[in-house]
Amino acid sequence: MILAQKLFDLVRKFPIRHRIVAALITVPCFGVVAAFGIAPQTIVETVPVNTVVEELTLPPLAPASDGVPAFTREERIQRGDTVASLLARLQVNDPAAAKFLREHKQAKALYQLIPGRTVRVTTRADGKLVSLRYLNGGNLLAVDRNDNGFAVEAVAAKLEQRVLMASAEIRNSLFGATDAAGLPDAVATQIADMFSTDIDFHRDLRKGDRFSVVYEVSYHRGEVVKTGRVLAAEFINQGKAYRAVYFNYAENQGAYYTPDGRNLRKQFLRSPLEFSRISSGFTNARFHPILQQWRAHKGIDYAAPRGTRVKAAGDGVVESVSRHNAYGNLIVLRHQSKFTTWYAHLSGFAKGLRKGQRIAQGTVIGYVGATGLATGPHLHYEFRIDGVHQNPLRVAMPAAPPITPEQKPKFEQSTRQYAQRLDLLRGTNLASLD
């Protein structure tokens, strides 16, 4: 800088017509090129700088929820849901809020529960409702607690779609990892559904497993009102990486595929429950706790709380919905011609379920119970091929059709950005859970 200033002072002594020549001669000597536009009689002295310090008065900070921690949960509406059952699943324990939702005229929109849409609530630790958001088509129902009880507003929702990314490491459970990373439960459920045909989330998870996810979120006036679809995810389980991207193969129809175009979906889920534990496996010799004798156990028992949702393992037709002796409440689904799946000891059936009805994979068909010969709430699940019992955890599951050659260019173009985001996330520091 000193050298440049001396050079500048030297050039000023030349007449204007000689300054360009002097600059061209001297610049190569210093290895520096600079362009100056200086008009004659320009004052080049240093401009004085004054520092101004101004105090800003900040508004007083109000305590959040009186210091009581808040929890945000999101649930997808299922066929047959009521407002009471939905609030219970969202862990809202607030009679005053339930009464307000029943009686307030504007809150009646909540009773138009459409399967597939979501309800998002924030509650205190004791289950008291803080806020509720229900996006019903283009309208947003907003309920908020205030000093006078509750306020409700129903407005036309102008939604802003954003794509977010996150990574986490598993120390204990998938839901624990998503909580630590600030992800909603809806993302964890979608991840489990995506990889359920390759990973058994009841048995296969290990400490140190990692996942990355790219997902959509809908905002209204800067507030999250809905968690959308997972667009891409990678799950590293026991050192093996599984990756999936979402692709719309037809109008309003899409599925998850591997980056090379193989369909991630199998004809059957590995488990008809989202999360539980296996209490009794497939074996030819098991001591029956009620009959007190050794018998073959030709299915898998999943211990889960009463009322846990049971999903159809594959596309099929309802063959039986009935009470069946030791099985208790039983559902039998037929898939194609030779496959059947059995769901026993249920506490109840999904509303409207009937014999002959077509069912899509993942549809809720019943709820865990302890009917029949059962010592406690669990699901007894059987998988049969041509009437012969098979171990559903070991039988090879056929895959759904892959991307066609005609769709390959469109698939690669639309999913490339998601794969790049997953590559970026793989190199980031991961959020972890304990």
Q: b/e map of 91-103 (b: 16 or more CB within 10 Å)?
A: ebebeebbebbee
Model pLDDT for residues 379-397, shown as the tens digit of each residue:
999 999 888 888 887 777 7
CATH topology agreement for domains 69-156 and 277-390: no
pLDDT, tens only, 134-163:
887 678 888 999 988 899 888 787 888 899
Measured distance CA(280)–CA(302) in Å, rounded: 7
CATH number of 166-265+407-432: 3.10.450.350
User: What is d(CA 106, CA 9) in angstroms, rounded to the nearest whole number?
Assistant: 78
Does residue 305 carry a pLDDT above 80?
yes
What is the structure's pLDDT at 33? 41
Q: What is the pTM of this model?
A: 0.52
Section 102-123 average pLDDT: 82
How far apart (Å, rounded) are the C-alpha atoms in residues 354 and 318? 7
Pick from 58-67, 81-90, 321-330: least confident? 58-67
**Rounded to whole angstroms, how far apart are CA atoms 122 and 248?**
33
* Count of C-beta atoms within a 10 Å radius of residue 395: 13
SS (H, E, C) 67-132: HCCEEEEEEECCCCCCHHHHHHHCCCCCHHHHHHHHHCCHHHHHHCCCCCCEEEEEEECCCCEEEE
Residues 413-434 pLDDT 10s = 888 888 888 888 876 654 433 3
pLDDT on residue 419: 87
Q: Is the pLDDT of residue 122 over 50?
A: yes
Structural domain boundaries in the chain: 1-36, 69-156, 166-265+407-432, 277-390
What's the rounded mean pLDDT across residues 264-287?
69
CATH (one of 2.70.70.10, 3.40.50.720, 1.20.1250.20, 3.30.2020.10) for 277-390: 2.70.70.10
Which pLDDT value is given to residue 63? 47
How far apart CA 347 and CA 343 sit, in angstroms, is 11
Q: Which of 202-211, 257-266, 272-281, 354-363 has the lowest mean pLDDT?
A: 272-281
Phi, psi of 255 (to 5 degrees): -160, 170
The tens digit of pLDDT for each residue in 8-58 reads 555 455 554 454 444 444 444 444 444 444 445 545 455 566 676 666 665
Beta bridge partners of 132: 121, 143
334 pLDDT exceeds 90? yes
Q: Would you state the pLDDT for residue 332? A: 95
Find residue 254's DSSP bridge partners. 248
Does domain 69-156 correspond to CATH entry 3.40.50.620? no
pLDDT class of 282 with cuts at 50, 70, 90: low
Average pLDDT, the chain: 79
Q: What is the pLDDT of residue 294?
A: 46
| CB atoms closer than 10 angstroms to residue 283 | 12
Percent of the chain with pLDDT over 90: 21
Calpha distance 215→230 (Å, rounded): 4
Residue whose C-alpha is closest to residue 210's, from 186, 233, 228: 233
